[in-house]
């Protein structure tokens, strides 16, 4: 029987590319998103399943997990990718904005880990990959709610890895640098930064592609990563390894 991989936030951006990558790797993929995912699911093929709903909604997540258990025999892989961003000075961040950020970026992954983790623990095998960010590894100005949610997601990753590793369930995270997706387009549209800011900051002098990150996710999900548990893998072209100042880095480019 084909193994099943559940990918959240799969309507567009990194989630969609990850769903395609896992389908190409032989998984039956369940695409889920707040948005309608029927066209994306159909494009992936007959084995794929699309379900719409909010990852922050406990009833939705429980129903999704029950459906995957009943119809597909449970999930072997879960990718917690759905997320929202917010660029806002900390002192202007409202409680509503803060709470919605934690609901989607932190509570959602917790609910999905709990629901699908139970199935994986019962099977004695499974792999969860949480999509955090370089913003989970250090501070980034004007992103207090987003950064806190991603730091929290790494805390959840490490704790579940410790708690479930002995029962065959691995939990890891990827920490992408800036990726050219709809999220980035919207963030950049606010005028907060431009291409040059990112390219100058990254040792490899470019944005991440969704494919770069999907490869990292597919690796951590796979049996090739059988003894990798609790890691936060930067897929960032060297960003977090480099504490140089920009003008010094730029001297290396000529």
Among 19, 27, 29, 33, binds ligand NAD (CB under 6 A): 33
Collapsed DSSP state (helix, strand, coil) of residue 49? strand
Task: Examine the residue annotation and report whether 27 is marked as an active-site residue of this protein.
Answer: no
Question: Least CB distance from residue 168 to ligand NAD, whole Å?
Answer: 26
Among 31, 68, 82, 137, binds ligand NAD (CB under 6 A): 82
Q: Does 81 bind ligand NAD (CB under 6 A)?
A: yes
Among 22, 56, 218, 221, binds ligand NAD (CB under 6 A): 56
Question: Least CB distance from residue 198 to ligand NAD, whole Å?
Answer: 9
Count of residues engaged in binding ligand NAD, rule: CB under 6 A: 29
Instruction: Give CA–CA dist 72/198, Å, rounded.
Output: 42
Compare residues 26 and 200 and give the one whose CB is closer to ligand NAD.
Answer: 200
State phi, psi for 180 to the nearest 5 degrees. Answer: -80, 95
Do 84 and 127 touch, CB atoms closer than 8 A?
no
* Sequence-distant (≥ 6) Cβ neighbours of residue 253 within 8 angstroms: 205
Compare residues 73 and 238 and give the one whose CB is closer to ligand NAD.
Answer: 238
Q: Does 22 bind ligand NAD (CB under 6 A)?
A: no
Closest CA to 34 of 10, 59, 14: 10
Catalytic residue among 27, 60, 110, 146: 146
Instruction: Give CA–CA dist 198/179, Å, rounded.
Output: 10
DSSP labels for 199-234? HHHSTT-SPBPHHHHHHHHHHHHSGGGTT--S-EEE
Compare residues 102 and 123 and give the one whose CB is closer to ligand NAD.
Answer: 102
Q: Does 178 bind ligand NAD (CB under 6 A)?
A: yes
Question: Least CB distance from residue 119 to ligand NAD, whole Å?
Answer: 20
């Amino acid at each position: 029987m084909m193994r099943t991989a559940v990918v959240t936030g799969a309507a567009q951006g990194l989630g969609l590319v990850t769903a395609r990558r896992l389908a190409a790797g032989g998984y039956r993929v369940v695409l889920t998103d707040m948005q309608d995912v029927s066209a994306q699911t159909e494009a992936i093929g007959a084995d794929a399943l699309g379900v719409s709903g909010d990852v922050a909604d406990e009833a939705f997540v429980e129903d999704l997990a029950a459906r995957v258990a009943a119809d597909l025999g449970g999930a072997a892989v879960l990718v917690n990718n759905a997320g929202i961003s917010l660029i806002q000075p900390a002192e202007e961040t409202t409680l509503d904005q803060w709470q919605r950020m934690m609901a989607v970026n932190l509570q959602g992954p917790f609910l999905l880990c709990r629901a699908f983790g139970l199935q994986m623990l019962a099977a004695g095998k499974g792999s969860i990959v949480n999509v955090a960010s370089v913003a989970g590894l250090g501070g980034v100005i004007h992103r207090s709610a987003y950064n806190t949610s991603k730091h929290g997601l790494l805390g959840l990753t490490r704790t579940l890895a410790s708690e479930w590793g002995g029962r065959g369930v691995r939990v890891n995270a990827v920490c992408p640098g800036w990726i050219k997706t709809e999220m980035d387009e919207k963030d950049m549209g606010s005028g907060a930064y431009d291409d040059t800011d990112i390219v100058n900051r990254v040792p490899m002098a470019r944005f991440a592609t969704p494919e770069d990150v999907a490869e990292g996710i597919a690796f951590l999900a796979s049996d090739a990563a059988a003894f990798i548990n609790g890691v936060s893998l930067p897929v960032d072209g060297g960003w977090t390894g480099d504490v140089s100042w920009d003008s010094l880095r730029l001297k290396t480019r000529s």
